[in-house]
A and B are shown apart, each in its own frame.
Chain A
Amino acid sequence: MITRRNFLKKTVLGLAGAALPLAALEIVDHKKLLASVAAEKGAVRWVFLVDTYKCVGCGLCVKACKLENEVPYDASVTRTWVERYVVIRDGNVYADTPKGARDGFTTTKIDLNSAGFKDVKNKDIEQAFFVPKLCNQCDNPPCVQVCPVGATYQTADGVVLVDRAWCIGCGYCIMGCPYGVRFFHPVYHVAEKCNFCYHRITKGLKTACVSACPFGSRLLGNIRDPHDPVTKIIMTQRVAVLKEEYGTKPQVFYIGLSKEVK
């Protein structure tokens, strides 16, 4: 005999069973899952790795970058540069990057701009090192958010590009970048920035700075490829990024970064 209680119970059970989709019973295949993520996000996401211990401040990367990317050689703008940090025993930190280190560092005198030159004696140096800088190709690029016309954008493989035909030269992106990597191109009068040598990396070449670096201080990698040597270093070693607290998710990773580096 069907009681009212039994009838309600079976109705609820039947409805619940019918609502359960067949897909919920399928066993998840991790390879398929990874492939679907790759298909959605793309198989390539370019990242950069800088080893500050290896950098000797020769500046050959800056020279190569300027010539490769047609950045006017003698103008005081550059897509990449190398900073020198000298920490002396009394705790003071001096930093300079004369001409963006285009000609390297061939003097012990530190260029402090309007404050003149500071000659630090070698015996006073506690720590001294070089830090190459370039565009961080952030995952949350603030420079792209502020562009009012859609002239700067991020590609599927993570590189932030500037459309020279579309840029109106308002300069918001130059202000918006917390790393100061953007500048006005003196010839084209539009925003200009490092784009990981997009014309080279999409052809399977290394960036101009990576191939010019004699010491292997600069490396380019694909973070979506688990077998990429750069990915392995980022995943297994102690690396740091610049200005993490800004939430920009920068994709240039540094080995041997120190608190003095801003």
Chain B
Amino acid sequence: MKNHVLRPLFVIIGIVVLILLARLVYVPKDFGIGTRGYMYGWHRAANEEEWKAFKVKYLGREYCKDCHSDKYASIMKTPHRIIECENCHGPANDATSDHPSEQRLKLTIDKTREQCLRCHFPLPYPTSGRSKIRSIDPEKHNPDSECTSCHNPHNSMEGLK
């Protein structure tokens, strides 16, 4: 074959070899099809471990109950026992709180009216559990005070403070 045909062919082969070499360096060794095949499993296997190592922030009421046994015992007697501590007090293992190694409680406590109104705002929707929760009209029911200044959320059945 003539030279002017072969020369571009060698150039193309060279480019392909370069791309394959670059790919060999750039693509991680653990890149493969995984368990779900080519269509759904084509990935870098180490990423699964990276996600598993993500920091857990919500630790659950079991984490709180030993040090705060009084609050735990109190709330477990009320309908509020279904609410996790961290829903109002914030995640125990948050980067900003580092509870309990700090001497002072650094967890945020959400005492706003809006926090209580998540459930206790009246929405009598007939096909939802919301209609079964006791509620108040926030515009008429002491609109200027925090709920916790009269009600104890840990002991909601025992009447006002």
Comparing A144-152, A170-178, A180-188, A229-237, the segment that makes contact with chain B is: A144-152
Chain A residues with Cβ below 8 Å from B90 are: 67
| Alpha-carbon distance between A55 and B42 when the two chains are bound, in angstroms | 37
A150 touches B35 (CB 8 A): no
| Alpha-carbon distance between A216 and B117 when the two chains are bound, in angstroms | 19
B53 touches A53 (CB 8 A): no
Comparing B1-9, B65-73, B122-130, B140-148, the segment that makes contact with chain A is: B122-130
Within the complex, the shortest CB–CB distance from A177 to chain B, in Å, comes to: 14
Nearest CB to that of A131 among chain B residues? B128
Chain B residues with Cβ below 8 Å from A125 are: 125-126
User: Is A212's CB within 8 Å of the partner chain B?
Assistant: yes
Indicate the member of A58, A67, A166, A198 with the most B CB atoms within 10 Å.
Answer: A58
Comparing A4-12, A23-31, A105-113, the segment that makes contact with chain B is: A105-113
B123 touches A214 (CB 8 A): no
User: Is A228's CB within 8 Å of the partner chain B?
Assistant: no
The answer to whether A64 and B87 touch (CB under 8 A), given A56-B133, A128-B128, is: yes
Chain A residues with Cβ below 8 Å from B39 are: 144-145
User: Is A215's CB within 8 Å of the partner chain B?
Assistant: yes
B87 touches A212 (CB 8 A): yes
A154 touches B36 (CB 8 A): yes
User: Given A129, A200, A203, which contacts B127 in the complex, CB threshold below 8 Å?
Assistant: A129
User: Given A68, A128, A216, which contacts B126 in the complex, CB threshold below 8 Å?
Assistant: A128
B119 touches A212 (CB 8 A): no
Enumerate B109-126 residues with CB–CB distance to A below 8 Å.
114, 117-119, 121, 123-126
User: Is B57's CB within 8 Å of the partner chain A?
Assistant: yes
User: Is A156's CB within 8 Å of the partner chain B?
Assistant: yes
Q: Mark B38-63, 1 if CB is under 8 A from A, else 0.
A: 01111110011011111111101000
In this complex, the interface size class of chain B, counting residues with CB under 8 Å from chain A, is 35 or more
A205 touches B56 (CB 8 A): yes
| Alpha-carbon distance between A106 and B138 when the two chains are bound, in angstroms | 9
User: Is A3's CB within 8 Å of the partner chain B?
Assistant: no
User: Given B31, B55, B84, B117, which contacts A214 in the complex, CB threshold below 8 Å?
Assistant: B84
Nearest CB to that of A208 among chain B residues? B58
Chain A residues with Cβ below 8 Å from B160 are: none
Within the complex, the shortest CB–CB distance from A122 to chain B, in Å, comes to: 6
B40 touches A141 (CB 8 A): yes
The answer to whether A103 and B34 touch (CB under 8 A), given A130-B128, A144-B39, A165-B47, is: no
Chain A residues with Cβ below 8 Å from B121 are: 104-107
User: Is B98's CB within 8 Å of the partner chain A?
Assistant: no
Within the complex, the shortest CB–CB distance from A84 to chain B, in Å, comes to: 8
Within the complex, the shortest CB–CB distance from B90 to chain A, in Å, comes to: 7
Nearest CB to that of A51 among chain B residues? B129
B40 touches A144 (CB 8 A): yes
Indicate the member of A152, A205, A214 with the most B CB atoms within 10 Å.
Answer: A214
User: Given B34, B43, B86, B117, which contacts A151 in the complex, CB threshold below 8 Å?
Assistant: B43
Enumerate B73-100 residues with CB–CB distance to A below 8 Å.
82-84, 86-87, 90-91, 94
A153 touches B84 (CB 8 A): no
| Alpha-carbon distance between A3 and B29 when the two chains are bound, in angstroms | 67
- Given A106-B118, A153-B41, 13 more A-B residue pairs with CB atoms under 8 Å apart are A53-B127, A56-B130, A68-B56, A104-B121, A105-B123, A129-B128, A154-B40, A155-B48, A156-B35, A166-B44, A198-B51, A199-B55, A199-B56
Which residues from chain A sit less than 8 Å from chain B, CB to CB?
42, 52-60, 63-64, 67-69, 86, 103-108, 122, 125-130, 140-141, 144-145, 150-156, 161, 163, 165-166, 195, 198-200, 202-203, 205, 208, 211-212, 214-217, 256
A sample of 10 inter-chain contacts (CB < 8 A) reads A64-B58, A105-B121, A128-B123, A129-B127, A153-B47, A154-B36, A161-B47, A203-B52, A208-B58, A211-B60
Report the 9 A-B pairs with minimum CB-CB distance, sorted nearest first. A153-B43, A104-B118, A128-B125, A199-B54, A56-B130, A156-B35, A58-B118, A214-B82, A150-B42
